[in-house]
Structure 1
């Protein structure tokens, strides 16, 4: 499903269940030593997706370990993102010559816990969530907001090396085009560029909310705002 909301230059691999017999590199094994079986299966399957996606770029299998900010540390020349939730695991990668940054997120299409919405949405966002919920109650719009902000953060951090609070990203959603726009507190990239916003796409299907932000290299050159 994730291919529907990502550009052609991105290679994505998804799984709707855990892949039995997935082998981990020793460095990965060390990260989940003593983890519960469920956590271990999620960890292993999303890395199986990552290695399959890297193979789609013609690259050999490598350990996928957390780097700064716990973002995945990809091989040189690769950008990417991973996510998992109940019943779904996904990895999306691209060559850095094609894409500047990628962020993907998967969530269950269930309402956020009542105490979470106030932490992730401002007054304007809560207003459009309520309006869209009245029009289309099949979509959990609060969860969509949360997922889109997660995708935005996953695209933001590798560029800036800086944490982005939920309050620093204000989102609007187009329910017809299945797109979203994020206005961000301006941040400098590692190479001196300026990031002030992202756009992305979303999909709700099969009990899942999927969101993606993918910025082509020619839209993300140093000194330009997105």
Structure 2
């Protein structure tokens, strides 16, 4: 599913259920450091943590890299092997990871959410007035997509792209999201100074979205030759 909104050169792996540890597939075997990192978490969280990392190791294996522990850093952002950028996501019924060589790709942000309404009060807390008006308008055009949840997912993908580049927090009201229902894309205009790429500040992220099988998924890829966009990764 996630591969449909990622460009060539980015390697995804996904699972719609938990992946059991299988000695025949080393990618599925959790490392002791990972087990320790979630030792106090509830069993559901431990299973999610293990499965999304198994997905990530499968994706890394497609790049020719051996299995390694993937530990969370500050704000939970995964620490990837040197020379790799990536992103992970998990929600009920879905786990996914996407990776790419850092020589080709600057940053990746992916997010998946159940295609259902946000809990009461969440939209008001995370959306700007213009975004809330957009959600209301889009709800009248295609009620099968929960546009409030899609907006939230897009903001999560923006944060996951932003944070590794800056090491700084990005509040929900510091990115203004415009959803394009016809093209299946979105544009995020940063309302704070953006990361500097190739000597220039990057103040807009663009990405893709997909709603299907009870899920909404979003993805942003920034390539090494300028601002990110939903098209193919540009290689040097």
TM band (smaller chain): over 0.9
Matches within 5 A, 1:65-144: 65-144=71-150
- Which whole-Å CA distance do the structure 2 matches of 1:177 and 1:171 have between them? 15
Q: 1:193 to 1:75 in 2, by over 3 A?
A: farther
Q: 1:72 to 1:38 in 2, by over 3 A?
A: same
Question: Is the 1:51–1:62 Cα contact (8 Å) retained in structure 2?
Answer: yes
Match for residue 173 of structure 1?
A: 179
> What is the CA deviation profile of residues 57-108 of structure 1, one whole-angstrom value per residue up to 9, with x for unaligned ones?
1101000011233211101110000000000000000001111100000000
> What is the CA deviation profile of residues 95-124 of structure 1, one whole-angstrom value per residue up to 9, with x for unaligned ones?
011111000000000000121001111111
Match for residue 38 of structure 1?
A: 44
Match for residue 151 of structure 1?
A: 157
Number of aligned pairs? 221
Q: Root-mean-square deviation (CA), in Å?
A: 1.5
Question: Is the 2:205–2:227 Cα contact (8 Å) retained in structure 1?
Answer: no
Match for residue 13 of structure 1?
A: 13
Shift of 1:23: 2.2
- The reply to whether residue 214 of structure 1 matches residue 234 of structure 2 is no
Match for residue 24 of structure 2?
A: none
- The reply to whether residue 205 of structure 1 matches residue 212 of structure 2 is yes
Identify unmatched segments of 5+ residues in structure 1.
Answer: 222-226
- Which whole-Å CA distance do the structure 2 matches of 1:88 and 1:112 have between them? 18
- Which whole-Å CA distance do the structure 2 matches of 1:143 and 1:68 have between them? 25
TM-score (norm 1): 0.94
